[in-house]
Amino acid sequence: MFVMILGLVIFLGVHSVRIVAEDWRNEQIQRLGEMRWKALYSVVAIIGLALAIWGYGRMRLDPTWVWFPPVGLRHAVALFMIPAFILLVAAYVPNNHIKARLGHPMVLAVKLWAFSHLLANGRLGDIVFFGAFLLWAILDFRAARRRQPAPAVTPRPAGTAITLVGGLIAYYLFAFHLHVWVTGVPVM
């Protein structure tokens, strides 16, 4: 579990710099330049994510059970993940109503993903892994709401339609084809 926690600290830590030290972050961007900062940030984040995923996989080999969730909660997770994927896609599709209304759809997608997976997984490692992401998403969303709002964008029906269809396609691909390959766990 140590490797997983180390990975979470690195990954979520680098993603928390703006929450806890925005002035320092801005100084580093000025000092290094935006491209170098993004490259350094990305390398650190990838290392952290790789360690967290590897550690999570190792934790699953010898789990400590805290509780045994009802099997029906897997179905709830499958339902929660549909809007989570739509929110994730909304972060990248320009001029959609979802992003215009919510402002930070990716962080909301992480919240929904982490919360739903906490419901359906009762191992200690699951609680640490998904709980860390949920806590980070809550704090990041609050911090993002306090920052200066992004410039207003005029949402267009086409952007929203692309977001919805793209989110449903992404959900289908991940739930029915990629989830078992990425996690080793079938969705149902």
Residues 40-67 pLDDT 10s: 999 999 999 999 999 999 998 999 999 9
**Of 62, 83, 101, the domain-final residue:** 62
**77 CB contacts (<8 Å, ≥6 apart)?**
116, 117, 119, 120
Secondary structure of residue 59 in the 3-state scheme: helix
E strands, the chain, where? none
Residue 187 — pLDDT band, cuts 50, 70, 90? Answer: confident
Residue range 128-151, pLDDT digits in tens: 999 999 999 999 999 998 887 777
E strand or H helix at 46: helix 34-61
Q: Tell me: do 128 and 160 sit in the same domain.
A: yes
Q: Using the predicted structure, report yes or no on whether residue 152 has a pLDDT greater than 80.
A: no
**Of 34, 62, 90, the domain-final residue:** 62
Q: Tell me: do 92 and 10 sit in the same domain.
A: no
Nearest one of 178, 167, 168 to 87, comparing CA atoms: 167
**Of 44, 62, 80, the domain-final residue:** 62
User: Which domain range does residue 162 map to?
Assistant: 64-188
Q: Using the predicted structure, report yes or no on whether residue 188 has a pLDDT greater than 80.
A: no
CA angle, residues 88, 94, 99, in degrees to nearest 5: 50
Q: Tell me: do 118 and 161 sit in the same domain.
A: yes
**119 CB contacts (<8 Å, ≥6 apart)?**
69, 73, 76, 77
Q: Tell me: do 167 and 87 sit in the same domain.
A: yes
Q: What is the pTM of this model?
A: 0.93
Q: Tell me: do 109 and 151 sit in the same domain.
A: yes
- The count of structural domains within the chain is 2
CA angle, residues 105, 90, 158, in degrees to nearest 5: 145
